[in-house]
Amino acid sequence: MVELFINKFSKTKQYLYSILLIFLVAGICFIFSGYIGYRVVAFILLVTVSLIAMFFDILPVLAAALMSALIWDYFFIPPHFTLQVATTDDSILLLMYFVIASVNAVLTYKIRQIEKVAMQKEEKANTVKLYNTILNSLSHELRTPIAAIIGATDNLQNHNEKLTQNNRYELVKEISKASFRLNQQVENLLNMSRLESGIIQPKKDWCDIIEVIYDVVKRIEENGISQKINININPAIPLFKLDKGMLEQVIYNLVNNAAIYTDATCIINIIAICHADVLQIIIEDNGKGFIPDEITHVFDKFYRLKNTKTGGTGLGLSIVKGFTEAMGGSIYLENLSTGGARFTINIVAETSYQKNIKNE
């Protein structure tokens, strides 16, 4: 925050504001000089210089230190309105005033420099840590299916005559499964890099939410899941102008996640509601829910929940958040009091009601 404050002011402005502040404080002290002694004024000015040191660069602060020493000498130390100092005590005080103010400026500046270096170091360490997490997760998620493919093809090529018909069939099935897994991961990575590039622009077109949701559910059911999926949408829900591809990906990732990470007997509910011009989509399950401490992290890139099974890159939910926000929407995750998790998406979009279109 302090850094921000400094960056807001140019060098020239920092000089100007330091000097002005000194003059202002000195002026107020001068008005009340009948009530307070001139030595107290020295302390008030010293506090002012210290405060300036907290926010501004070293040179403007040193200028303020020098300026305040001169002002104190000229206006406050007897004899007034002259730079002369009457007593030895006051000479020593004036010298010490200047030294303390300068030391103050230099020390504050040094502390800030050290803080800056430490922050950069920490940032770098975090980047390295994230990079390692990405590498580990990616190399695992990409290499496992590749290993399966290479192993299976090796077997088929080198031991073809020794393999039973059934084993041959099993190996081919493994190759197929591994390929689809690879394809899924590559798609996630491509979506992530689309988001990262920052050039992602939603292509808005009229979407039939009922069609979108049923299509996604059909695709997920074709993967062979055992959970029951309930869909609850009012048939009179209007069309929404949204990026259909993004919306599909968001719903797919959420429902697919629910299917992967809940028990086979769980139930997944998908609800779509229209509130004025807001499309609300709720995807909830009656599984175990999320560990409360982890809820704030689930949308982080490459974040994998502790103790979860392998099979993801930690990209699914960050893509969900990225796409939802790219469409101008928001997403919220909560645990249900009855157990299970609920994702709520709200997107403001143009709507079109069927009854206004049937024009024949």
Partner 1 sequence: MSNPAEILIIDDEVQMRKLLEITLQTNDYSVSKAATAKEGIIMAANHPPDMIILDLGLPDEDGHSVLQKLREWYTNPVIILSVLNNEEDIVNALDAGANDYLTKPFRTGELLARMRTALRGAFTEENNPVLSYNDLQIDLSARTVKRNNELIKLTATEYALLATFAKNEGRVLTHQYLLREVWGPGFINQTQYLRVFIAQLRKKLENDPNRPEYFVTESGIGYRFVFKE
> Which residues form the interface with partner 1 (CB under 8 A)?
179, 183, 187, 190, 205-208, 210-211, 214-215, 218, 231, 239, 244-245, 248, 352, 354, 357-358, 360
Closer residue to partner 1 in complex, CB, 223/354: 354
Degrees, nearest 5: CA angle 42-47-48:
95
Closer residue to partner 1 in complex, CB, 261/323: 323
In whole angstroms, the minimum distance from the beta carbon of 274 to partner 1 comes to 15
Exposure class string for 136-163: b at 16+ Cβ within 10 A, else e: ebbeebbebbeebbeebeebeeeeeeee
Token pair 């020390």 is found at 107
Tokens of 148: 């399966």
In whole angstroms, the minimum distance from the beta carbon of 116 to partner 1 comes to 42
Closer residue to partner 1 in complex, CB, 244/321: 244
In whole angstroms, the minimum distance from the beta carbon of 191 to partner 1 comes to 8
Closer residue to partner 1 in complex, CB, 104/318: 318
Closer residue to partner 1 in complex, CB, 234/354: 354
In whole angstroms, the minimum distance from the beta carbon of 158 to partner 1 comes to 21
Closer residue to partner 1 in complex, CB, 63/270: 270
Give dist(CA 238, CA 357) in Å, integer.
11
Degrees, nearest 5: CA angle 99-101-104:
105
Give dist(CA 356, CA 335) in Å, integer.
39
In whole angstroms, the minimum distance from the beta carbon of 357 to partner 1 comes to 5
In whole angstroms, the minimum distance from the beta carbon of 205 to partner 1 comes to 5
Give dist(CA 279, CA 345) in Å, integer.
8
- Name the burial class of residue 224, with classes exposed (0-12), middle (13-18) and buried (19+) by CB atoms within 10 angstroms of its CB: exposed
Contact residues for 299 (Cβ-Cβ < 8 A; gap 6+): 317, 318, 320, 321, 331, 333
